[in-house]
Structure 1
Amino acid sequence: MQLNIETSIEIDTPAVLVWSVLLDFDAYPEWNTFMSNIQGSIVPGERVRVSIRPPGSASVSFKPRVLSVTSGRELRWLGRFLVPGLFDGEHYFRLEPMGTDRVRFVHGEVFSGLLVRLAKDSLTTSIREGFDEMNRALKRRAESLRVAMCSGTSRNVDAKRSTQRLIAA
């Protein structure tokens, strides 16, 4: 059985800024309550450690293998439970530019394997809610950093430096 969960949100910032926020894993605890921690190198073939906390559930950590990275566009990884075909999840983040200052962030996962049928209802509800929660938080974070970067007020100096550091990376 296969289960596809896909969410999206439109963000009023350039794709490069959204991509920078998405890959700034050290800052995740500041804004991302669903996917609170990612450790490791985002290099195809490498494993990363990911911690998620779906709404109403306990935190879960796993070590998916990075499948592909298209800079500024898409990141994919594949997680498996015990053995291939039992419970697999191919997770993806995709940016779809909508002009120079707007982007659609697409966030999804394709679940497959023997155990998917048993977990279908809880996955459909809690994972979709978690993805939507993260999408809204990413939108708030990226849009607030853009405002801080464009603002000339001194109270935003730290945010502007942080944003410039992200874009330069």
Structure 2
Amino acid sequence: MKAHIEHTITVNASIESVWAVLTDFDQYNAWSPTIKQFFSAPRVGQRSKVRLEQPDGPSMTMNPIFLDITPLKVLRWKGSLFVSGLFDGEHYFMLEKKTDQETVLIQGEYFSGVLVYFFRKMIYGVTSNGFKSFNEALKKQVENRNIL
């Protein structure tokens, strides 16, 4: 079984400003409602533990492998629950330049594995809402930083 969720938001800031906040991994705990901590700096092809806390939902520490970190474009990782094939998620952030001072942030995740069917209520509920909350918090963080 497979599932996919995706949320988009327009940030009133340059793509460089959005990327700077998205990749300032040490500061997530100060503003992010869902992704609380990166235990080490992400690098393509390597794992980095990440602490997730969904508002009104579960908390967990995962150890995803980072698949793509293309500056000003993509941040992508893949994680698994216990073992690959049980419940996997390929998470992504994509940035698109709309204008010099408008950037589209797209956050999504492809879920696969035998347990997806049993977690679909959480995926389309708590997890999806968490993505919306994260996007709104990132927008606020970037836009407030640009005012200073």
TM-score by length of 1: 0.85
Unaligned runs of 5+ in 2: none
Q: Which has the higher strand share?
A: 2
Which of the pair has the greater relative contact order for Cα pairs under 8 Å at 6+ separation?
2
State the partner residue of 1:54. Answer: 54
Q: Read off the aligned partner of 1:121 and give its amino acid letter.
A: K
- The CA distance in 2 between the partners of 1:142 and 1:130, in whole Å, is 18
- The CA distance in 2 between the partners of 1:59 and 1:36, in whole Å, is 10
Q: Read off the aligned partner of 2:103 and give its amino acid letter.
A: V
Q: Read off the aligned partner of 1:77 and give its amino acid letter.
A: W
State the partner residue of 1:132. Answer: 132
User: How much has 1:83 moved relative to structure 2?
Assistant: 2.0
- The CA distance in 2 between the partners of 1:81 and 1:59, in whole Å, is 13
Q: Which has the higher helix share?
A: 1
- The CA distance in 1 between the partners of 2:66 and 2:58, in whole Å, is 24
Q: Read off the aligned partner of 1:81 and give its amino acid letter.
A: L
1:2-151 aligned within 5 A: 2-148=2-148
Give the conservation status (yes or no) of the 8 Å contact 2:33–2:55.
no
User: How much has 1:53 moved relative to structure 2?
Assistant: 1.1
Task: Provide the aligned length of Structure 1 versus Structure 2.
Answer: 148
User: How much has 1:38 moved relative to structure 2?
Assistant: 1.4
Q: Secondary structure at the match of 2:99?
A: coil
**RMSD between aligned residues:** 0.9
Q: Read off the aligned partner of 1:131 and give its amino acid letter.
A: F
Q: Read off the aligned partner of 2:139 and give its amino acid letter.
A: K
TM-score by length of 2: 0.96
Q: Secondary structure at the match of 1:97?
A: strand
- The CA distance in 1 between the partners of 2:58 and 2:115, in whole Å, is 19
User: How much has 1:88 moved relative to structure 2?
Assistant: 0.5
User: How much has 1:27 moved relative to structure 2?
Assistant: 1.2
Bigger radius of gyration? 1
Q: Deviations over 1:28-80 (max 9, x none)?
A: 11111211111223211110111111121242110000011111110110001
Give the conservation status (yes or no) of the 8 Å contact 2:8–2:107.
yes
User: How much has 1:82 moved relative to structure 2?
Assistant: 2.1
- The CA distance in 2 between the partners of 1:16 and 1:70, in whole Å, is 12
Q: Read off the aligned partner of 1:52 and give its amino acid letter.
A: L
